[in-house]
A and B are shown apart, each in its own frame.
Chain A
Amino acid sequence: MSEPLLGLVTGFLFGFLLQKGGVLRFDRQVGALLFRDMTLVKFMVSAMLVGSVGFQLLAEAKLIAMNHLAMNVGGVVLGGLLYGCGWAIAGYCPGTAVGALGEGRWTALFAIAGMLAGAALYAEAHPALKVTVLAWLNLKSLALPKLLGVSPWMCIAGLWGAGIVTFVWCEFKKV
């Protein structure tokens, strides 16, 4: 199977699961941010827990190559918080905006248009950000096990522990 076709099939299955999980909707995205409807968190964290085990097994068998995105501290923290501010108002992330459109939420088109504008705006701001926020502290590509000096499986156990505590909290609070 060719690379684009592979992407299409993977995307189809992923979009199907996102829709079936009920996480594409604005109400669910913002509901999670308000801690009132944690469907999105249950979906995402479940995926993370399962994926972390599989990725580690595949990486140890040298069947995949991990690719850690750069940990540029200023960029990740400020950009991440800024992302959150926009997300709470748009109610979609780039991927779920595309999925929400497939579900018939047509104003997601405006979110998509806004995201394209945001990318262009960032390109304009990039030279200034490069010598300021992005120049503060760049830890580059960094994995948690390396940072902590422990086995990846310890980190995965910790991730599962945190995930299960989150799930228990959600079920206990009935959110």
Chain B
Amino acid sequence: MRRRGRDKTWNPYLAGALAGLLAIGSAYVTTRVTGRTEFLGASKTFVRVSAALERAVLPARVAKSADFKDERLKTDWQLMLLGGLFLGALASALTGHAFEWEGVPELWRHRFGPGVLKRAAGAFLGGAVAMFGARLAGGCPFGHGLSGVMQLSVSGLAASLCFFMGGAMVAKYLSRKGDRYE
């Protein structure tokens, strides 16, 4: 299962610790610059993009939605964070010779075959369920997981455990059925 050395990655403890330092630095600097502490997060931006898209198609429906009506797309800190995240991953992958134009991940192929459509459908459905859950929980693994646990938030610790437990159950179920999910 472990495929080390196929692409050059750093020691995960080191990379993670550096990400921790980045979170600390970012919290400090945003507070200094904007007067408000920004914490790493991602799901709020998805909500804003989704609301903006729906507003373009069904404006009346969005205006009536308590959850969506005040969500507007703006080039704020978190939106730019996600833009930067894309570029940073791209830069790292390109310079580290890890960039790979891949549609069907290896693990998925072993379990569900090489079909791209099936993978696309799985990614879409899984993504939809995940975001619905993240909205209900009030945050995603960045907001609740990283930022919440770093702050010792009860919600962050509880959500992280639930994220992982739910994921482990489904992954285990899928792996047992096919016996080749490896």
Contact flag A107-B43 (CB < 8 Å), given A20-B9, A42-B13, A147-B154? no
Question: CA of A76 to CA of B20 in the docked complex: distance in angstroms?
Answer: 24
On chain B, the residues within 8 Å of A143 by CB distance are: 151-154
State the B residues within 8 Å of A (CB).
1-3, 7, 9-10, 12-24, 26-34, 36-40, 42-43, 45-47, 49-51, 53-54, 62, 65-68, 75-93, 96, 98-108, 116, 119-146, 148-172, 174-175, 181-182
Interchain Cβ contacts under 8 Å between A and B, 6 examples: A50-B17, A70-B138, A81-B166, A83-B133, A90-B127, A133-B136
| B146 close to A90 (CB less than 8 A) | no
Closest B residue, CB atoms, query A68: B153
Q: B39, A67: Cβ atoms under 8 Å?
A: yes
- List CB contacts (< 8 Å) of A77-106 with chain B: 77-95, 97-106
Q: Mark A106-146, 1 if CB is under 8 A from B, else 0.
A: 11101111111111111111110110011000010111110
Question: Are A76 and B162 in contact, with the CB atoms below 8 A?
Answer: yes
How many Å from the CB of B92 to the closest CB on chain A? Answer: 4
User: What's the least CB distance linking B150 to chain A, in Å?
Assistant: 3
Q: How far is the CB of A12 from chain B (nearest CB, A)?
A: 4
Q: Is B100 a contact of A7 with CB atoms below 8 Å?
A: no
Which residue of B43, B130, B146 has the most chain A CB atoms within 10 A of its CB atom? B130
Given contacts A49-B20, A93-B140, A98-B86, contact A6 B29 (CB under 8 A): yes
What residues of chain A lie closer than 8 Å to B138, measured between beta carbons?
69-70, 72, 75-76, 79
**Which size class do A's interface residues fall under?**
35 or more
Shortest beta-carbon distance, B67 to chain A, in Å? 4
Q: Is the CB of B130 within 8 A of A118?
A: yes
Contacts A79-B138, A119-B47, A123-B65 given; does A86 touch B129 at CB 8 Å? yes
Question: Which of A6, A9, A22, A85 sits near B170, CB closer than 8 Å?
Answer: A85
A127 to B65, CA, bound (A): 8
Give complex CA distance A51, B21 in Å: 6
Contact between B22 and A13 (Cβ–Cβ < 8 Å)?
A: yes
Q: Please pick, from B76, B85, B161, the residue contacting A18 in the complex, using a CB distance under 8 A.
A: B85
Q: Which of B16, B46, B50, B87 has the most CB of A within 10 A?
A: B16
Q: Top 7 A-B pairs ranked by shortest CB distance?
A: A84-B166, A11-B84, A80-B162, A15-B88, A114-B127, A50-B20, A79-B136
In the complex, which residue of chain B has the Cβ closest to the Cβ of A175?
B2
- The answer, among B10, B21, B85, for a CB contact under 8 Å with A15, is B85
- Nearest chain-A residue to B139 (Cβ)? A69
Question: How far is B136's CA from A133's CA once the two chains are assembled, in angstroms?
Answer: 9
Contacts of A21 in B (CB 8 A): 9-10, 12, 15-16, 19
Q: Are A69 and B148 in touch, CB under 8 angstroms?
A: yes
Residue in A closest to B41 when the chains form the complex, CB atoms: A95
- Chain A positions within 8 Å of B116 at CB level: 107
Known interface pairs A69-B156, A115-B130. Does A20 touch B1 (Cβ–Cβ under 8 Å)? no
Q: Are B50 and A116 in contact (CB under 8 A)?
A: yes
**In the complex, which residues 1-20 of chain A have their Cβ closer than 8 Å to any Cβ of chain B?**
1-20
Distance, CA A93 to CA B150, complexed state (A): 18
What is the CA–CA distance of A126 and B37 in the complex, to the nearest angstrom? 28
